[in-house]
Amino acid sequence: MTDGEFEDAQVARPRERRRPWRLLLRITAWGAGLAVLAASAGFLYETDARQGDAARHRAPGRLVDVGGHRLHLYCTGTGAPTVVLEAGLAESSASWEAIQRRLSAGNRACSYDRAGYAWSEDGPSPRTAERTAGELRTLLAAAGEAGPYVLVGHSYGGNTVRVFADRWRDLTAGLVLIDVTDETAVTALRISRPLLAVQFTVNQLVARLGLLRLSGDALVPPGATAAARAGATVVYGDRSMAAARAEAWASADSAAQVAATVRPRAWGDLPAVVISAGGQPAEVTDHARRLAALSARGRLVVAATTDHYVQNAEPGLVLDAVHEVIAAYGQR
């Protein structure tokens, strides 16, 4: 090989090495461009499609002003005391569809959407248990739904009803707590809240880019009721996911607020049924047992189902608990 040929080969080799990188950069650029194009198309599709959601998925109840924003309240049936149904994290009034329908056959039953969820308007931050309990109190008063109330809380919703019962004992006829959040797990909640924030942010993007609408009910949570599935683009839409993220981020503060209400016999002789899903670790059942002991008339029920959504898996169990509390209140 001559000196000239050697020099040409040396120049060619770096060029050859650069070619795969250039190809990779081009593929990446094309991929990014297509992703932006697809996201833009999805955004425009969702923006146009959601214009008809108000007509297709009408709010079953009414919007009530609670001081700067309105919350959706849906009440059915007659009778006293009124049963108030509080949903868990990332859920709404639609999650109580079957329970409310059966309760309203002989009782007054109300479900609602916390601020930002489903048909309710966005509310101020932080979205702590104290704030949501105060908004619930204002909502019921403004709507003319007189107390006292049997408060039924599922999962994260237990935070709201427990703070409500502590602050407004005279308006509380009894409690039914279904697989509620452990208020002592403040450290765990602080660790998990960034993960929950990421999860709900992803869910928010999925909804905003039209993927939730296009998927039918494939992306709807497994425990969703028929009503929630039918109105998924509203119930699990991007606004609802943003509200869930805000509550998840405030969850440790909410747990601390609930923990501050715990003291021996904190609920006095308030009728209370605490329901725990079956197959739980011992510490979860122990927490439920301690909750039941906060009332002289508290009782723990361990469900046969391992489903966190006990009200869907064993609706009869939940209905029996509500009727038990109503009857116990009438005997006071």
pLDDT in tens, 230-250: 888 888 999 999 999 999 999
**Helix (H/G/I), strand (E/B), else coil: 268:** coil
Query: Residue 68, Cβ neighbours under 10 Å: how many?
Result: 8
Same domain, 118 and 27: no
What per-residue confidence (pLDDT) applies to 230? 80
Same domain, 46 and 143: no
Same domain, 70 and 49: no
What per-residue confidence (pLDDT) applies to 96? 96
What per-residue confidence (pLDDT) applies to 221? 79
**Element containing residue 16 per DSSP (H, E):** helix 3-49
- Residues contacting residue 238 through CB under 8 Å, at least 6 positions apart: 204, 205, 207, 208
What per-residue confidence (pLDDT) applies to 214? 77
What per-residue confidence (pLDDT) applies to 38? 47
CATH of the domain at 133: 3.40.50.1820
Longest CA–CA separation in the chain, Å: 109
The domain tally of the chain equals: 2
Same domain, 174 and 44: no
Same domain, 127 and 14: no
Residue 102 token pair: 């059966």
Same domain, 36 and 103: no
What per-residue confidence (pLDDT) applies to 6? 44
Query: For the chain, which ranges sit under pLDDT 50?
Result: 5-12, 38, 42, 45
What per-residue confidence (pLDDT) applies to 331? 83
pTM, rounded to two decimals: 0.87
33: containing domain: 3-54
What per-residue confidence (pLDDT) applies to 330? 82
